[in-house]
Amino acid sequence: MKAPRELWTSRVAFILAAAGSAVGLGNIWRFSYVVGENGGAAFLIIYLIVIAIIGYPMMVTEITLGRTTHKNPIGAFKALAPNTPWWIVGGLGVLAGFVILSFYSVVSGWSISYFFKTLGGTLAEGADFEGIFGEHISGAWGPILWHALFMLITLLIIGAGVVKGISRAVRILMPVLFVLLVVLALRSLTLPGAGEGIAFYLRPDFSDLTAQSILGAVGQAFFTLSLGMGAMITYGSYLSDNDDVADNGAWVVGLDTLIAIIAGFAIFPAVFALGFDPASGPGLAFITLPAVFAEMPAGLFFGGLFFLLLSIAALTSAISLLEVVVAWLVDEKNMSRKKAAVLIGVLIFILGIPASLSMGAAEINIGAWPFFDFLDFLQESILLPLGGLLIAVFAGHVWTAQKTRETANTNGGRIKIGVWYDVLIKYIVPIAIAVVMIFGLIDVFSG
């Protein structure tokens, strides 16, 4: 006999879990280097607009599809459009869960190891930060062991279940994360010379904006809000029919945005105060920040805190990625939750091994890409935008925008989804995603 499907025990449990999924490497590591590369404040404003007109409607859509069907993404589409190929959209999501988590876990492993490196004094003042980072990620055993540890923690939490595992973990981890981030932001804002960084982050110069940065804002919005692969369908599926969608979705989007904004206050004042380049790319968190911390009073302590925080944020995101795949096996294939968590956790760990090795220890390429970059390309340029596009088309045109909106408004709270939603989900959202996807692919293949 199969146990009845679990439900979140409270509204706060859902909000914390979904915000935990949204808040991750995307908010701190990815957000900071993307903002830094795109000139700061002007990009931030575009990003906030994209969050409002694309991010929020997609969030409402995914949560609604989950709450209505109480199913994993594949099951949800099968229930809403039986005997059609729409379940494939859910399948893309399950595949994306595999792909994203395999390299996400590798980066999370770097973060855990940097926590120890920082506290252990390896990243002290005068160290060769770039060299240490390069050496770390190109190591053979080290990064794989940290990746293994991170996947093990993730699968143990998921194996324990929605209430005992996910809920209990995020209830502790999310508040800790928030407090740590605020402490770091206060430290950064009070450094002598912080003002220039604050101006970079808050005083917009729209001549900095390019078409590319607008596309970057859409990509960042999807990744940071965990949209486009059914993670929010899955978390929404553990809501009861009496739970509201629009207010809960607003909480998740609001918390994710708040945390990204605070992360910017933790990072940019410090980067400028110590004379670093905010546009130094994906190395910003792992190369520049340790250097920043090393020059700060009590820097090793604050640096350790930062990587602890990054690891915690990554963990609450990773569990949502694994949950999508596990929910599919539990709902559709009648597998036990524990068995599914171990099986998928191990498979994702194995897929992460070549990703990790391709950072320098071994030459593992797919086409021109190291395996790691290939997985990243696959999720960023194909799986998430295609998934998001198809989810929007499904909700807007197949299930119909009116039906989705009315369903979202059933048992609603304060926020009423108005007809503006129909316009956004039918036209604006799919067109914007299609444009981003096409330009993104042209950009990649034109070198």
Asked if 26 interacts with ligand TRP (CB under 6 A), we say: yes
Which position among 317, 356, 381, 409 is part of the footprint of ligand TRP (CB under 6 A)?
A: 317
Minimum Å gap between C-beta 228 and ligand TRP is 6
Only one of the segments 6-14, 223-231, 397-405, 408-416 lies at the binding site for ligand TRP (rule: CB under 6 A); that segment is: 223-231
Q: Is 321 in the site for ligand TRP (CB under 6 A)?
A: yes
Binding-site member from 231, 259, 274, 390 for ligand TRP (CB under 6 A)? 231
Q: Verify binding: residue 234, ligand TRP, rule CB under 6 A.
A: no
**DSSP conformation letters of 139-208:** -SHHHHHHHHHHHHHHHHHHHH-IIIIIIHHHHHHHHHHHHHHHHHHHHHHTSTTTHHHHHHHHS--GGG
Residue 285 contacts by C-beta under 8 Å, 6 or more apart in sequence?
A: 28, 29, 32, 33, 310
* Residue 22 found at the interface with ligand TRP (CB under 6 A): yes
Decide: is 108 part of the binding site for ligand TRP (CB under 6 A). Answer: no
Q: Is the dihedral of CA 35, 40, 44, 46 positive or negative?
A: negative
- Per CB under 6 A, does 311 bind ligand TRP? no
- CA distances from residue 184 to 148, 267, 392 in whole angstroms, order as listed: 28, 9, 38
CB of 215 to ligand TRP, least distance (A): 17
Residue 5 Cβ, how far from ligand TRP at the closest point, in Å? 21
Least gap, CB of 154 to ligand TRP (angstroms): 11
User: Quick check: 124 and 300 in contact, CB under 8 A?
Assistant: yes
CB of 104 to ligand TRP, least distance (A): 7
Residue type, 160: A
Neighbours of 85 (CB within 10 A): 9
- Is residue 365 within a helix (H) or strand (E), and if so which, with residue range? strand 365-366
Asked whether position 330 contacts ligand TRP by CB under 6 A, the answer is: no
Report the DSSP beta bridge partners of residue 38: none
Q: Counting contacts by CB under 6 A, is residue 226 touching ligand TRP?
A: yes
Is residue 233 within 8 A of residue 250, CB to CB? The reply is: no
394 touching ligand TRP, by CB under 6 A: no
For ligand TRP, what does the binding mask look like between residues 255 and 284, x meaning CB under 6 A?
------------------------------
Q: Which residues are at the interface with ligand TRP (CB under 6 A)?
A: 21-22, 24-27, 100, 223-224, 226, 228-229, 231, 317, 320-321, 384
